[in-house]
Chains A and B, each alone.
Chain A
Amino acid sequence: DGGITQSPKYLFRKEGQNVTLSCEQNLNHDAMYWYRQDPGQGLRLIYYSQIVNDFQKGDIAEGYSVSREKKESFPLTVTSAQKNPTAFYLCASSVVSGNTIYFGEGSWLTVV
């Protein structure tokens, strides 16, 4: 089954802790992305990667980190420096030459 798999779907974090959200794709896409969604805010780009071992900051990268060691994987770490991390996180991918983005099912992160 081709697609983008995000895990976990729900995650609770204590303040001061780092958490890592997993994103794996088997679509053979070169580009991968992380978006954050808050109510009424639409989707905002956190980080993106066009190729393995390379990634760029998006509009709201502060308090987040990523790695791209494999083409299939683009994990996102939400660090303790992120002031308001409670949100819905969406991973996505696309072919580099095209614009259409395919999303995973998302991960809900709640800080308790």
Chain B
Amino acid sequence: GQQVMQIPQYQHVQEGEDFTTYCNSSTTLSNIQWYKQRPGGHPVFLIQLVKSGEVKKQKRLTFQFGEAKKNSSLHITATQTTDVGTYFCATGGSGGGADGLTFGKGTHLIIQP
């Protein structure tokens, strides 16, 4: 199945600094999704991107899907302590998604006040 690689694995930032995590694939992806998992919690859906070059924003979060649909990024502007957690990218299977998503290993965001 499709695989996605996420970098970095860990990111330490000072509160107020920006943060970016990257998701890369060697193959063209039909879609990319982003999830956030708070410490001790479960993953929560953030957004889905399907179009080449697509950019979506949610307040301080900006999501991008590459022109070749092989990479994606999540950028957080001016991090806050509530942003702490692990951010996962995921992509749908060839069966339209109902055969399960393939997740990256996640980027752990640690914020120092």
A residues near B (Cβ < 8 Å) are 30-31, 33, 35, 40-45, 48, 50, 56, 58-59, 90, 94, 96-106
Contact = CB atoms under 8 A, between A and B. Distances in A.
Secondary structure of the B contact surface, majority rule: loop
Interface in B4-61: 9, 31, 33, 41-45, 48
A38 to B, nearest CB: 10
Given A48-B100, A59-B1, A100-B33, A43 B92 contact: no
Contacts of A35: 103
B100 A100 contact: no
A31 B97 CA distance: 10
A35 B43 CA distance: 11
A30 B43 contact: no
A42 B103 contact: yes
Given A44-B103, A97-B98, 18 more contacts: A33-B100, A40-B9, A42-B103, A42-B104, A42-B105, A45-B100, A56-B99, A58-B100, A90-B42, A96-B98, A99-B92, A99-B96, A99-B101, A100-B48, A101-B101, A103-B44, A105-B41, A105-B42
